Amino acid sequence: MEKLLWHGGKIYTMAAEGETVEAVLVSGGKIEATGTVEELEGKADREIDLKGNVLYPGFVDSHMHMIGHGQKLMRVDLSKIETSEEMKQQLIESTASLGKDEWFIGEGWNENNFPDRKIFHRLELDEISASPMMLKRVCRHAVLANSSALALAGITKDTPDPEGGLIVRDADGEPTGYLLDAAQEIVADIVPEQSIEELTRTLQSSVDDLLALGLTGAHTEDMGSYGHYTKPLQAFKNVLGKETKFRAHLLRAHSAFEEMMENAAYLEPFVDPGPMKIFADGSIGGRTALLSKPYNDDPSTSGVAIHSDDGLKRLVSIARKHGEAVAIHVIGDLALEKALDAIEAYPVPAGKRDRLIHTMVLREDLVERMEQINVVLDLQPSFVSSDFPWVIERLGEDRLDWAYTWKKLIGRKLICAGGSDAPIEEVDPKQGIYAAVTRRKPYETHEGYMPEEKLSRFEAIGLYTTGSAAAICKEDSRGMVKEGYDADFTVFDRDLFEGNEEQLLEAQVELTVVAGEIMFERRQ
């Protein structure tokens, strides 16, 4: 077994702030030793010179949708459109060549980017195209559908709202085409499914992009979104572990969980099974995040509970029956309260760790409860730069003391991991780290939104290294450059701990290494 000695650049261990080593000896996909070149070079068969570049433990995105990211790369991306007129023109151009029965799927529109905050009506979409159209909102908790899509889905004036969802209607009771949370599934379920071959191509596109951005792994939610779980699972096994090494930790949708527990086979350590994924509420942007008090800019609603209290507890109990943890999407404080009720009623098994995803609107009493259980908080730093300042209108000033409060959470010694929620946000970990450190959009010059919540660079990079490892109870084998740990490295052309904050954005990935093998190398 060949032994490789990595040296010739600064090597950060992330075991303690500022800690570096001179060289790392790697064999069999593991770190055999760290130390000086003089100590280790006699044990190596070959040396790899970092040429002055800087090595970190492999960056891992703790929450994303890998197939969804691939679809965004391959479909029409609406996320960067800044006016409703621009979106209309993009849709006209993108649908011009569609056949009558051919579906158009758009990704990532966000009315909060538009000066007029316009949400298109189905009749306006009908004027653009008669072909069935589904446009996914950036949060993925809402879609827009035209009349053709609604008709194919059987949604009419008389269709009742599904449990955990809302069919938005006009003054006459007719559907507007805006479908929230569970209601969007009525249309999504009739869109023709991708084949395993198509999913494989989509996933390969995603993984290639993730490796180029310095990511060595991701905790991903795809099981339950693309037909029977066997289809996306097979796509993962087709792509990973052979020529392409990348570590995918699969969150398993509650709808597929029990069958996967009984029948699914994985491809560890590159495709491994994770907790049961449950949605407790929706999104702030769509006003479906479940709050304990009504929305500041729409007092008629406090959001949507995806499950009843008993239903949520029943799902957690099923996970416990199988000895598993849960990963619960909670954005609003009332959703978090209900999730904690369920977790406290059915405690996590020994050796496992529950995950609370997003935890954006909190209360101090809920934080105190989280401190008493074995839980990791799955944070998305880029939500700060995306949601402010409009989110202040949604929540009001009074709720901001415990909203988007990453520094407070880390200060309370809660385990925090960092992800993007891609394709909802940009997947590039540099952007997440920048957002955590500056609390503003790239290259803005103000002091940041709620600047007291800024993280240090060590804390921010830790979200994607030690934090992501702890999220899956692998803090003893991943997330640091340390003897016995997996040889997963992200190599940049500069030191992310030095220079101005914009250096975080401008850094170039030189190498991405998974299990000791170079999976991406930047062309000079």
pTM of the model: 0.87
Which CATH number does the domain housing residue 516 bear? 2.30.40.10
What is the 3-class SS of 114-162, one letter each residue? CCCCCCCCHHHHHHHCCCCEEEEECCCCEEEECHHHHHHHCCCCCCCCC
Residue environment code for 489-515, b if the CB has 16+ CB neighbours within 10 A, otherwise e: bbbbbbbbbeeebebbeebebbbbbbb
For 147-206, the pLDDT digits (tens) are 999 999 999 999 999 998 999 999 999 999 999 999 999 999 998 888 999 999 999 999
**What is the distance between the alpha carbons of residues 360 and 404, in angstroms, rounded to a whole number?**
5
Are residues 22 and 113 located together in one domain of the fold?
no
Residue 90 lies in a domain: yes
Pick the closest to residue 150 from 136, 168, 132, 138 (CA basis).
Answer: 132
pLDDT confidence of residue 339: 98
pLDDT confidence of residue 72: 87
Which residue range(s) make up the domain with 150?
80-137+141-188
Residue 198 lies in a domain: no
The number of folded domains in the chain is 2
CB-CB contact of 144 with 137 (8 Å):
yes
Other C-beta atoms lying within 10 Å of the C-beta of residue 101: 11
pLDDT confidence of residue 486: 98
Residue 467, both tokens: 């934090």
For 465-510, the pLDDT digits (tens) are 999 999 999 999 999 999 999 999 999 999 999 999 999 999 999 9
Are residues 86 and 184 located together in one domain of the fold?
yes
Are residues 36 and 110 located together in one domain of the fold?
no
**What is the distance between the alpha carbons of residues 467 and 60, in angstroms, rounded to a whole number?**
9
DSSP assignment string, 385-433:
HHHTTHHHHHH-GGGGGGBS-HHHHHHTT-EEEE---TTSS---HHHHH
Residue 352 lies in a domain: no
**CA distances (Å), 138 to each of 78, 90, 152, in order?**
9, 16, 24
For 328-376, the pLDDT digits (tens) are 999 999 999 999 999 999 999 999 999 999 999 999 999 999 999 999 9
Residue 492 lies in a domain: yes
Q: Is the dihedral of CA 200, 202, 205, 207 positive or negative?
A: negative
Are residues 109 and 150 located together in one domain of the fold?
yes
Are residues 85 and 44 located together in one domain of the fold?
no
**What is the distance between the alpha carbons of residues 88 and 105, in angstroms, rounded to a whole number?**
14
Q: How many residues does the chain have?
A: 524
Are residues 25 and 122 located together in one domain of the fold?
no
Torsion region of 473: left, alpha or beta (phi above 0 gives left; psi -120 to 50 gives alpha): left
> Counting Cβ atoms within 10 Å, is residue 162 exposed (0-12), middle (13-18) or buried (19+)?
middle
**What is the distance between the alpha carbons of residues 298 and 421, in angstroms, rounded to a whole number?**
26
Are residues 25 and 86 located together in one domain of the fold?
no
Q: What is the pLDDT along the chain (524 residues), one digit of tens a residue?
A: 899 999 999 999 999 999 999 999 999 999 999 999 999 999 999 999 999 999 999 999 999 999 999 988 888 889 889 999 999 999 999 898 888 888 999 988 999 999 999 999 999 999 999 999 999 998 888 999 999 999 999 999 999 999 989 999 999 999 999 999 999 999 999 988 889 999 999 999 999 999 999 999 999 999 988 999 999 999 999 999 889 999 999 999 999 999 999 999 999 999 999 999 999 999 999 899 999 999 999 999 999 999 999 999 999 999 999 999 999 999 999 999 999 999 999 999 999 999 999 999 999 999 999 999 999 999 999 999 999 999 999 999 999 999 999 999 999 999 999 999 999 899 999 999 999 999 999 999 999 999 999 999 999 999 999 999 999 999 999 999 999 999 999 999 999 999 999 999 999 999 999 999 999 999 86
No. of helices (H) and no. of strands (E), the chain: 19, 22
Residue 280 lies in a domain: no
Q: Decide which of 126, 155, 188 is a domain's last residue.
A: 188
Pick the closest to residue 194 from 206, 179, 182, 183 (CA basis).
Answer: 206
Are residues 43 and 92 located together in one domain of the fold?
no
Are residues 50 and 87 located together in one domain of the fold?
no
CB-CB contact of 165 with 159 (8 Å):
no
With a CB cutoff of 8 Å and minimum separation 6, the contacts of 361 are 284, 289, 291, 331, 332, 333, 336, 395, 399, 402, 403
Pick the closest to residue 510 from 520, 500, 496 (CA basis).
Answer: 520
With a CB cutoff of 8 Å and minimum separation 6, the contacts of 37 are 5, 7, 22, 23
Residue 51 lies in a domain: yes
With a CB cutoff of 8 Å and minimum separation 6, the contacts of 489 are 6, 55, 56, 57, 58, 216, 481, 511, 512, 513
CB-CB contact of 315 with 326 (8 Å):
yes
Which CATH number does the domain housing residue 116 bear? 3.10.310.70
Are residues 111 and 51 located together in one domain of the fold?
no
Residue 313, both tokens: 């507890």
pLDDT confidence of residue 75: 81
Residue 378 lies in a domain: no
**What is the distance between the alpha carbons of residues 14 and 462, in angstroms, rounded to a whole number?**
7
For Cα atoms 26, 29, 31, give the angle at the middle one, nearest 5 degrees.
40
Pick the closest to residue 324 from 261, 377, 282 (CA basis).
Answer: 261
Residue 24 lies in a domain: yes
**CA distances (Å), 259 to each of 195, 250, 318, 326, 387, in order?**
20, 14, 12, 16, 37
